[in-house]
Amino acid sequence: EAQVTQNPRYLITVTGKKLTVTCSQNMNHEYMSWYRQDPGLGLRQIYYSMNVEVTDKGDVPEGYKVSRKEKRNFPLILESPSPNQTSLYFCASSSGTYYEQYFGPGTRLTVT
């Protein structure tokens, strides 16, 4: 089944403790992206990747890192999480920027 998977689905952590949210797709998509969803703000793009080893900032990249070492994976790294990064995070992928994005199930992160 074609899908985008994210792990973990739920995470509660403390300020400053590094964490990684994984994202994997099995559709051989070139394009992958991370978003955060906050009430009243919709989805905001954090980072995106047009292909392996090619990443670029979205609208809210501060406090996040990404890497794209292989086509199927696009992990989101929070080196020193803070409470304002408490949010619902979505990973998405597509065949290219001209195609629709397929979204993962989301990761709900709480930073205390």
Partner 1 sequence: AQSVSQHNHHVILSEAASLELGCNYSYGGTVNLFWYVQYPGQHLQLLLKYFSGDPLVKGIKGFEAEFIKSKFSFNLRKPSVQWSDTAEYFCAVRPSNTGKLIFGQGTTLQVKP
Closer to partner 1 by CB, 48 or 64: give it: 48
35 binds partner 1 (CB under 8 A): yes
**Per rule CB under 8 A, count of chain residues that contact partner 1:** 25
Edge-to-edge strand ranges of the sheet holding 65-66: 4-7, 19-25, 76-78, 65-66
Q: Which one of 45, 86, 95, 110 is in contact with partner 1 (CB under 8 A)?
A: 45
87 binds partner 1 (CB under 8 A): no
**Residues in the site for partner 1, rule: CB under 8 A?**
31, 33, 35, 40-45, 48-50, 56, 58-59, 90, 92, 97-98, 100-101, 103-106
